[in-house]
Structure 1
Amino acid sequence: MTQKVFLTGASGFVGGAVLRRLSSEGREVIAAVRKGGAKLSASVRTFTFEAFEEGNDWHEVLAECDVVIHSAARVHVMNDTETDPLAAFRKVNVQGTLALARQAIAAGVKRFVFISSIKVNGEGTPKGKPYSADDQPMPLDPYGVSKMEAEVALRKLAQQSGLEVVIIRPVLVYGPGVKANFLNMMRWLDRGVPLPFGAIDNRRSLVALDNLVDLIVTCMDHPAAANQTFLVSDGEDLSTTALLRRMAIALGKTARLLPIPDWALSAAAISLGKRSLSQRLCGSLQVDIRKTRELLGWQPPVKVDVALLAAAKHYQEITNK
């Protein structure tokens, strides 16, 4: 019997890719989309809501579904203008998530797949000492705290109700349509801008969009996934320098990288009040996905260079329109 899936965040970067994958497999999906947001294909059944919050009534649509994939969230933003960022994150990421989960329990939904964040673990690791799924959480910003609080509350609901909760913590996700810093990186390389990132010896775990989607789909019904937390990556960690070089190859460009020592870059960024940028460019953040591999028998199906090529091709198609 085919599972019917309720998918939140269906018009987003990750949720949209999940929707495309499930639709291509002929699975029944009801996609939750915000009123006035991006339009989905007319062939997709949608459930429209005003804002993702505690007061939403999902009961009727959840009664039809076996699985919830919850990818909607108030996401981490730079230069947040909220007077109380933690309260704003909690309203959506904790209260809204728990309201959805409680209604899922009442409707008889069997499994709830929650897309969390590596920020629950923290902001960085010593090189060669990756995070594991069972490490003590140490979130350092309001977004990470809200995701951690949602995880804790979901586990408690699972213990009380029998709902199977699966938590997935992605690292930085890239792929066709990626935005923010990864998109800026492609723009710099495409334009041949000289970049002072030629001597950075850090290690960063990344995850291709298709690899993350493959794990999400695996976790929908894999028996061993029930009530587990998984980290996910491509299984190959790169320095910032190596990533830029390989992205340039995908774009068909030459990376013009100046060998400025990473300590000098860090000092310059910190002096300009950009400590977090320094961490992302020069610091390490690695994850250990052995639990994901061993418990689920899962391997990232897409290699890094193939995924970079897909991201580059999409970027060039959009840029050249």
Structure 2
Amino acid sequence: MNILLTGSTGFLGSRLARALCSEPDVYLTVAVRRHLESPAAQVLEVEGLDANTDWSTALTNQQRVIHAAARAHVMKDEEADPLAKYRRINVDGTRNLACQAAKAGVKRFIFISSVKVNGEQTSSGLPFTAEDTPAPEDAYGISKWEAEQCLKKIAEDSGMEVVIIRPPLVYGPQVKGNFASMIKLVEKGFPLPLGSIQNQRSLVALDNLVDLIITCIDHPAAANQVFLAGDGRDLSTTELLHSVAKAAGKSSRLIPVPCSFLMFAATLIGKQAVAQRLLGSLQVDISKARDLLGWEPPISVEEGLRRCLVKD
């Protein structure tokens, strides 16, 4: 099977490319913006990702497209108009690629979206589902939702199958951002005032997400469906920190401080968004992938964290 992968140099894409190259009967082409050597995949350079990108060469003879390239979520976005920037890449670029893919005869288009399409938080015990009415709140989430709508319209008009996967926070080897910062604090033994957090958050290990994507490449029941990704086990922030410490072979030094005080302190210093991610709940229901695809996350949270801490 011929597969075109975008975003192959990113955190998810690089891991996915390695996995696809080890799959039997898969002939992988990766589209990149800069020169890249790969002994296992055909590499094609493309100019950017927007409404004007020419994908004709990359799409020749392709049967599947996995679109993982995007303008990623930016915590402190300094763009004058962040939504316009996200739309240019995540909406216009995705629409352009999908339209050309449909015209080129691509059978299935797999789009890596985000749980931010569903929203930013859930009430404990009431996880997001794939059938919930989308409620994105920030520019990134809005752009991913708009891209999904474009893809569904293209699928209706062309007959090309579309599969949408919405992951929550993804962790794994070389993870960056706040998750990496948290790991460093735990490894260094810093005391943290997060010893009594009773929220519930869904995460997805990188290898679990890769496995779900590969399952969706050719599964008949995946056609024109939306799936939420996850490890199948939710953790409180306190449980997560204990688990990270255990995986690292360290003692967790967590001080029990009331959530109300932490939120008040975060508000005073303008860090409400950070506090919300640490203190609030965000759960996803992966039963649709289990029921329709027979999919189960292949690795546990503990194994995912262990792999996350392995130094390559």
Structure 1 segment 117-266 matched on structure 2, within 5 A: 117-266=114-263
Structure 1 residue 42: Cα displacement: 3.7
Partner SS state of residue 3, structure 2? strand
Gaps of 5+ in 1: none
What is the aligned partner in structure 2 of residue 32 from structure 1? 31
What is the aligned partner in structure 2 of residue 76 from structure 1? 73
Deviations 1:211-230 (A, max 9, x none): 00000000011000000000
2:251 counterpart of 1:286: no
Partner SS state of residue 165, structure 1? strand
Answer with 18-27 or 8-17: which moved more: 18-27
Deviations 1:154-191 (A, max 9, x none): 00110111000000000100011100011001100111
Structure 1 residue 64: Cα displacement: 1.6
What is the aligned partner in structure 2 of residue 19 from structure 1? 17
Deviations 1:72-119 (A, max 9, x none): 000110110110000000000000000000000110000000000000
Answer with 264-273 or 123-132: which moved more: 264-273
CA distance in 2, matches of 1:128, 1:272: 30
Percent identity between matched residues is: 54
Partner SS state of residue 234, structure 2? coil
Aligned residues of 2:124 and 2:281 also touching (Cα < 8 A)? yes
Structure 1 residue 148: Cα displacement: 0.2
CA distance in 2, matches of 1:121, 1:75: 17
CA distance in 1, matches of 2:207, 2:76: 29
Partner SS state of residue 102, structure 2? helix
Q: 2:237 is matched by which residue type in structure 1? A: T
CA distance in 2, matches of 1:20, 1:223: 24
Q: 2:102 is matched by which residue type in structure 1? A: I
TM-score (norm 1): 0.95
Partner SS state of residue 146, structure 2? helix
Structure 1 residue 292: Cα displacement: 1.1
Aligned residues of 2:46 and 2:55 also touching (Cα < 8 A)? no
Aligned length: 311
CA distance in 1, matches of 2:265, 2:32: 42
* Runs of 4+ residues deviating >6 angstroms: none
CA distance in 2, matches of 1:311, 1:183: 9
Aligned residues of 2:31 and 2:58 also touching (Cα < 8 A)? no
CA distance in 2, matches of 1:45, 1:194: 48
Partner SS state of residue 165, structure 2? strand
Structure 1 residue 35: Cα displacement: 1.9
Answer with 112-121 or 305-314: which moved more: 305-314
Partner SS state of residue 31, structure 1? strand
Work out which of the residue numbers 14, 34, 52 in structure 2 matches 1:55.
Answer: 52
Instruction: State the Cα RMSD in Å.
Output: 1.0
Q: 2:78 is matched by which residue type in structure 1? A: T
Gaps of 5+ in 2: none
Deviations 1:37-62 (A, max 9, x none): xx443442111123211111111221
CA distance in 2, matches of 1:146, 1:86: 7
Deviations 1:230-288 (A, max 9, x none): 00100000000000001001111111111011111111112211111011000000011
Q: 2:22 is matched by which residue type in structure 1? A: S
CA distance in 1, matches of 2:286, 2:268: 35
Aligned residues of 1:63 and 1:109 also touching (Cα < 8 A)? no
CA distance in 2, matches of 1:45, 1:267: 53
TM-score (norm 2): 0.98
Q: 2:2 is matched by which residue type in structure 1? A: K
CA distance in 2, matches of 1:40, 1:99: 26
Aligned residues of 2:21 and 2:40 also touching (Cα < 8 A)? no
CA distance in 2, matches of 1:144, 1:253: 36
Q: Aligned pair in 2 of structure 1 residues 34, 248: CA closer, same or farther (>3 Å)?
A: same
2:296 counterpart of 1:299: yes
CA distance in 2, matches of 1:156, 1:195: 48
Q: 2:28 is matched by which residue type in structure 1? A: V
